[in-house]
Amino acid sequence: MARTLPARSAIEPKHTWNARSVFTTPAAWDAELAAVIAQIPAVRTHEQLMTRGAAELADGLLAVEQLMTRMMKVLVYAGFSYSVDTTDSRAAAMNDTAQGAYGQVSAAVSFLDPVLLGIGKDTIGQWLRSEPKLAVHKHYLDNLWRKQAHVRSAEVEELLGMVSDPFFGPGNTANMLVNADLKFADARDANGRTFEVTQGSLFRILEDPDRVPRRAAWTNYMEGHSFFRNTLAATLTTSIKQNVFKSRARRFDSALAGVLDLDNIPTEVFHNAIGVFRRNLPLWHRYFDVRRRVLHLKSLHHYDMWAPLTKKKIRIPFEKSVNLICEGLAPMGDEYVAAVRKGCLKDRWVDIYPNRGKRSGAFSWGTFGTHPFIMMSYVDDITSLSTLAHELGHSMHSLYTWKTQPFVYSTYSTFVAEVASNFHQALVRDSLLKGAVDMRIAVIEEAMANFFRYFFIMPTLARFELATHQRVEKGEPLTADLMMDLMTELLAEAYGPGVAIEREREGLLWATFPHLFEDYYVFQYETGIAGAQALAGRVLRGEPNAVPAYIRFISAGSSDYPIDVLRKAGVDLSHPEPVEEAFAVMAGYVDQLEALLL
């Protein structure tokens, strides 16, 4: 019998996200969506009124923020409903409608920055001093003056706002294809056991001690993608072209510069991270050799990277996982830990278990006025525990930001987001490593799997991303074959001679990462782990003010530039040293594995 996933309807409500806390019924969502659309004309009237004086400007900013607050709740409800069951046609329609509405709202409020620039820095400076309601917007306005050269006319800004909806298209197409329509052949082992291969089950199979189903599952998974390689390449290429278009429309020299400028991050940060990664490839080659020897293999393959290094499997049910995470977070204080526990066990932040149609991976998402919800597929193991800790880091980041900052600063950059998530994992690992030997091995295995994803795969994808963007910027073609050749070449360098690479399998790795539809996101996992390790080290060493400094960091939202928010917390990611220090932490894990297993 194949191991099949339950239908969404079979999941107990207590194990699902608390959708009713956002909208009590789908009908209530419909009504709010209609109300949001109906409010657009009233908000647009502020375009002219805002130029008349400080009070009118404050009223206009408030109207825009109130509309965006309501729109985001509509978007979160629809998007999360769709993510937990991509086969639900009602949810898919809601998600599509919500994205269309978001595009309308974005276009409707796109007048804001051009109007502010038209009023002028000196006049707005006077208004800031005379109208207390405007004071909170000072950083937003300072950032606007910084970006002034890249803000276009009101007409162009409106057009750029309008294209946000159709520009969701490539990512949505790839998501529907991969998560809803794409089917994979079952994997079988030598004894005839069959394993259902899905987005939600793949990595559970790759963790099987038996190499036969691992190889079969990976082969079938990649062959499923291979059938649609040209479609997947076309959708990603279109996304890249859209990003290049947007950067050129805003007069940036490159897409990389355009994306990073949004958060005032120098392009050197990207190149520093990639440089440190390449310098530390010998450490990765050493780890791969340890893994090969422990597994008694002549050569290692990609599908061996998650194979267990010990026979004993540690089972950790969800509630026990919550308890272990809370123990690890104890240095953060009672208030912090209580919020985590209540979110998991009472307020239903987490959509816990896998089901058919559920999106792959895990994420935390919400907005002003909602819980910081988590979508994942928990399967009672150490990896699930770590994933939950990771996503709870995001959720606590959101929770503290929302309760501290006004709407204008209620989001935060992906550059700091991955610091908070990996900070949680670092604290929880430190606590778990104090346990029995079997637990220590399992924790180090999980840690290395995490580093493998974020300190190996993601930097390699970042190199792929840079190369593909540069091809488009030069007017050169991108095809599935070109992408596969590039991916194979980059992986061969990164893996070294000790790992076998198959072009028809690993060459398609790019097709399995939806992260690439969010431009220049993947490298920020590497910088995120580096920042997290530095801040966790301060807390674990008991350095004075380390915990309050971290709380201030996750409470800052976008009230300051990401690099500066982190610098105030105690880590400077404008230099390569934190990334080097994180590789030193990884080296310590490899040392422990050698001591424990060889």
Distance CA 466, CA 254 (A): 10
CATH number for the domain including 91?
A: 1.20.140.70
Residue 386: its H or E element: helix 382-404
3-state DSSP call for residue 385? Answer: helix
pLDDT digits (tens, 9 = 90+) for 505-539: 999 999 999 999 999 999 999 999 999 999 999 99
Domain count, the chain: 1
Note whether residue 104 is domain-resident.
yes
pLDDT digits (tens, 9 = 90+) for 218-254: 999 999 999 999 999 999 999 999 999 999 999 999 9
Q: What long-range pairs does 342-349 form, CB within 8 A, spacing at least 24?
A: 343/371, 343/372, 343/392, 343/395, 343/399, 344/388, 344/392, 345/319, 347/18, 347/21, 347/371, 348/14, 348/16, 348/17, 348/18, 348/21, 349/17, 349/18, 349/373, 349/374, 349/395
Distance CA 149, CA 266 (A): 16
Note whether residue 346 is domain-resident.
no
Note whether residue 32 is domain-resident.
yes
- By the 8 A CB rule, do 429 and 387 touch? no
Note whether residue 353 is domain-resident.
no
Write out the chain's pLDDT in tens, 598 residues. Answer: 345 789 999 999 999 999 999 999 999 999 999 999 999 999 999 999 999 999 999 999 999 999 999 999 999 999 999 999 999 999 999 999 999 999 999 999 999 988 998 999 999 999 999 999 999 999 999 999 998 878 888 888 888 888 877 888 888 888 888 888 899 999 999 998 999 998 878 988 998 999 999 999 999 999 999 999 999 999 999 999 999 999 999 999 999 999 999 899 999 999 999 999 999 999 999 999 999 999 999 999 999 999 999 888 889 999 999 999 999 999 999 999 999 999 999 999 999 999 999 987 899 999 999 999 999 999 999 989 999 999 999 999 999 999 999 999 999 998 999 999 999 999 999 999 988 788 899 899 999 999 999 999 999 999 999 999 999 999 999 999 999 999 999 999 999 999 999 999 999 999 999 999 999 999 999 999 999 999 999 999 999 999 999 999 999 999 999 999 999 999 999 999 999 999 999 999 999 999 999 8
- By the 8 A CB rule, do 423 and 576 touch? no
Note whether residue 228 is domain-resident.
no
Identify the pLDDT of residue 151.
81
Note whether residue 348 is domain-resident.
no
- By the 8 A CB rule, do 398 and 372 touch? yes
Identify the pLDDT of residue 3.
56
Place of tokens 């825009």: 64
Q: Name every residue whose Cβ is closer than 8 Å to that of residue 359 and which is 6 or more positions away in sequence.
A: 83, 84, 86, 175, 179, 199, 375
Active-site annotation holds for 391: yes
Note whether residue 144 is domain-resident.
yes
Identify the pLDDT of residue 2.
43
- By the 8 A CB rule, do 300 and 499 touch? yes
Identify the pLDDT of residue 1.
34
Sheet with 373-375, edge to edge strand ranges: 350-351, 373-375, 363-365
**What are the respective helix, strand and coil percentages of the chain, to the nearest 5?**
70, 5, 25
pLDDT digits (tens, 9 = 90+) for 125-161: 999 999 999 999 999 999 999 988 788 888 888 888 8
Place of tokens 């105690």: 570
Report the percentage of the chain scoring pLDDT > 70.
Answer: 99
Q: Which domain holds residue 133?
A: 8-164
- By the 8 A CB rule, do 93 and 78 touch? no
Task: Identify the active-site residue in 391, 418, 506, 526.
Answer: 391
Note whether residue 301 is domain-resident.
no
pTM, whole model, 2 decimals?
Answer: 0.85
pLDDT digits (tens, 9 = 90+) for 543-596: 999 999 999 999 999 999 999 999 999 999 999 999 999 999 999 999 999 999
Pull the structure tokens for residue 151.
């803000």
